[in-house]
């Protein structure tokens, strides 16, 4: 171990292992055939058995090891005893060997907030668009997203029956991001990734104002940030209040760890302290590079419609 392990280092090592276990749960539910779908607020706002089991697994596993950390999950679930089968006790050794930035060494457990989206891209999961699906665990300190884990349960699923499924990407601000190959969109290309199932006139007006060469409509905030860091899109534009803090905390930390930027549509930073409202009511604008180009093209009409 590079140094005495800090709370953040241990929490990240646990979150990695917990996210890996979550990916297995997501695949097992799909393989079982009964997704247990319920509508929350309508046909575009679904919850499945995987959402419920994964949230119980992540929140209970982390709460056992870090009882003073605040953990906020997307799903509103009744509190009851969690099946021991769902508990993940492991820690990623690779993370424990890293030399974490010294500014994190004095962080106390009770100062950290964990934002959990157990299944980002639930609608796509129910429709078999498996590459859109991610599990998100974001860690915030003093209201800022500083670390995150994204598990893609079905990564590589189109490679055939014998393919190894799943991967886990993680990052810490000031340390870097790992588990993928960083790529950029070719210079001068403007490819925008945006919502697949929550489109609106506001969203489309904002995208049109940016004169994109191409628009990629996919599910899941985690998936969209992966598009940015793997060179498949140059900007993630969502001029709508539909996104929540558990959608953006982990992806933002990973994007910022490789020099990208994620804000609301006005260019304001998002805040992740435990008292904050969950809705990102002023939308999301994110890029790996050239943030100012996209920010300068957001129409005033869109800014006026989306109040922070």
24 is catalytic: no
- Is 131 one of the annotated binding-site residues? no
Other beta carbons within 10 Å of 301:
13
Q: Contact, 68 vs 274, CB < 8 A?
A: no
The answer to the question of whether 45 is labelled as a binding residue is no
Cβ distance 177 to 170 under 8 Å? Answer: yes
Determine which one of 6, 24, 45, 51 is catalytic.
51
- Residue 221's CB is within 10 A of a number of other CB atoms, namely 29
Is residue 122 annotated as a catalytic residue, yes or no? Answer: yes
Instruction: Give the Cα separation of 201 and 246 in Å (integer).
Output: 25
Residue 42 burial class via C-beta count within 10 angstroms: exposed 0-12, middle 13-18, buried 19 and up: exposed
Contact criterion met (CB below 8 Å) for 70 and 114: yes
Count the alpha carbons within 13 Å of 178 in the hemisphere toward its beta carbon: 15
Q: At what angle do helices 245-257 and 221-229 cross, to 10 degrees?
A: 10
119 is in an annotated binding site: yes
Partners of 265 in the beta sheet?
none
Take residue 38 and report the two structure tokens written for it.
């319920």
For the chain, percent helix, then strand, then coil, each to nearest 5?
35, 25, 40
Among residues 122, 168, 193, 263, the one annotated as catalytic is 122
Q: Confirm whether residue 120 is marked as ligand binding.
A: yes
Q: Report the b/e string of 107-125 with b at 16+ CB within 10 A.
A: beeebbbbbbbbbbbbbbb
Is 74 marked within a binding site? yes
- Cβ-Cβ contacts under 8 Å for 88 (sequence gap 6 or more): 14, 17, 18, 20, 21, 57, 61
Nearest of 193, 170, 173 to residue 286 by alpha carbon: 193
Residues with catalytic function: 51, 122
Which residues does the annotation place in the binding site? 74, 117, 119-120, 247
Q: Which residues are annotated as a binding site for Mg(2+)?
A: 74, 117, 119-120, 247
């Amino acid at each position: 171990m590079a140094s005495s392990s800090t709370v953040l280092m241990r929490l990240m090592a646990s979150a990695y292992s917990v996210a890996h276990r979550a990916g297995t749960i997501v695949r097992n539910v799909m393989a079982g055939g009964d997704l247990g779908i319920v509508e929350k607020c309508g046909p575009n706002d679904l919850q499945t058995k995987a959402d419920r089991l994964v949230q119980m697994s992540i929140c209970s596993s982390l709460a056992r090891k870090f009882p003073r950390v605040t953990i906020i999950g997307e799903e509103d679930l009744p509190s009851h005893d969690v099946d021991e089968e769902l508990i993940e006790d492991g820690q990623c050794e690779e993370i424990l060997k890293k030399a974490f930035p010294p500014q994190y060494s004095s962080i106390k457990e009770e100062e950290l907030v964990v934002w959990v989206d157990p299944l980002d891209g639930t609608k796509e999961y129910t429709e078999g668009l498996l590459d859109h699906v991610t599990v998100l665990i974001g860690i915030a300190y003093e209201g800022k997203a500083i670390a995150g884990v994204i598990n893609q349960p079905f990564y590589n699923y189109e490679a055939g029956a014998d393919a190894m499924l799943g991967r886990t990407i993680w990052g810490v601000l000031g340390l870097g991001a790992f588990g993928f190959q960083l790529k950029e969109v070719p210079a001068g290309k403007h490819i925008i990734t945006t919502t697949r199932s929550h489109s609106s006139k506001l969203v489309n007006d904002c995208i049109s104002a940016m004169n994109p060469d191409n628009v990629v409509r996919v599910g899941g905030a985690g998936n969209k940030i992966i598009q940015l860091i793997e060179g498949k899109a140059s900007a993630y534009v969502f001029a709508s209040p539909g996104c929540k803090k558990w959608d953006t905390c982990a992806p933002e930390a990973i994007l910022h760890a490789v020099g990208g930027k994620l804000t609301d549509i006005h260019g304001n930073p998002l805040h992740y302290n435990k008292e904050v409202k969950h809705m990102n009511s002023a939308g999301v604008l994110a890029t790996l590079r050239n943030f100012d180009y996209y920010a300068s093209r957001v129409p005033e009409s869109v800014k006026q419609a989306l109040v922070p």
